[in-house]
Amino acid sequence: MRLMFAASCFVLLAACGAPTQTAEPTPEEMGQDEPGAPMEPAPAPRPVTFEAMSKTAEAFTGAITLSVEPRPGPNAAPRMKIVGANGLTFITELLPGAAEQASLINWKEIFGEDVVVSGNAPPGAPSIDMHSVIQEDVPGTALNGGFCGKDTPTSFIAMATGLDSVGQKYMSIAAFKGDAWPPTSADVLCGTFNYIPPAAPL
């Protein structure tokens, strides 16, 4: 019985007496990174699909799916991908502060209500994010072309969120043409496209 007990103590070191000398576990074995190792980036949000609400949205894209694109570098602006049900695709880059710079654009007239153009919108208030379009792919299935039509590339988009129409929350995309932002005139607007966000989980 004593021999069996001694053997058990050898296997289960913590069960009997003083522990034997063992090597310290490495940080990797403990599930830790080495000192100074870069932190792993947080996983990208899942793609989100918005249903077409306005007739222009139905005609130009149908439902759209928004997803986060990898940044080309650690200091690069966030990028986003927009894919329409008809295959129309945009890759955009965020332009912080760009909506506020566009003094010639009447945002209330475009979106139908007051929107916050600065970066300090109160929670739930309608607000705008500006994006430059760095890639626009218009397949043959996109019969009306891109947001600015068949012959004019889309250069910039303003995404207004938190808008409300008779109790229905929605997002609106205003598309702009032109080579520079802020624009030097107000006639660069191509159109607006309204979408219904997915229902919040119960």
Question: For residue 158, how many C-alpha atoms fall within 13 Å in the half-sphere facing its CB?
Answer: 30
pLDDT confidence of residue 199? 86
Please report, in tens digits, the pLDDT of each residue of the chain (202 residues total): 433 333 333 333 333 344 444 455 555 555 555 566 566 666 768 999 999 999 999 999 999 999 999 999 999 999 999 999 999 999 999 999 999 999 999 999 999 999 999 878 888 899 999 999 999 999 999 999 999 999 999 999 999 999 999 999 999 999 999 999 999 999 999 999 999 999 877 6
Nearest-angstrom CA–CA distance, 14 and 69: 50
**DSSP state letters, 129-150:** EEEEEEEEE--TT-TT-BTTBS
Burial class (CB in 10 A: 0-12, 13-18, 19+), 99: buried
Show the DSSP H helices in the chain as ranges.
Answer: 2-11, 55-60, 98-101, 107-111
Q: Which amino acid, residue 66? A: L
How many C-beta atoms lie closer than 10 Å to residue 86's C-beta?
19
pLDDT confidence of residue 80? 97
pLDDT confidence of residue 148? 98
Nearest-angstrom CA–CA distance, 50 and 46: 13
Beta strands in 46-99 (DSSP E): 48-52, 64-69, 79-84, 89-94
pLDDT confidence of residue 3? 35
CB 139 within 8 A of CB 88: yes
How far from the centroid of its chain's Cα atoms is residue 190's Cα? 23
Q: Nearest to residue 78, comparing CAs of 125, 46, 44? A: 44
pLDDT confidence of residue 41? 62
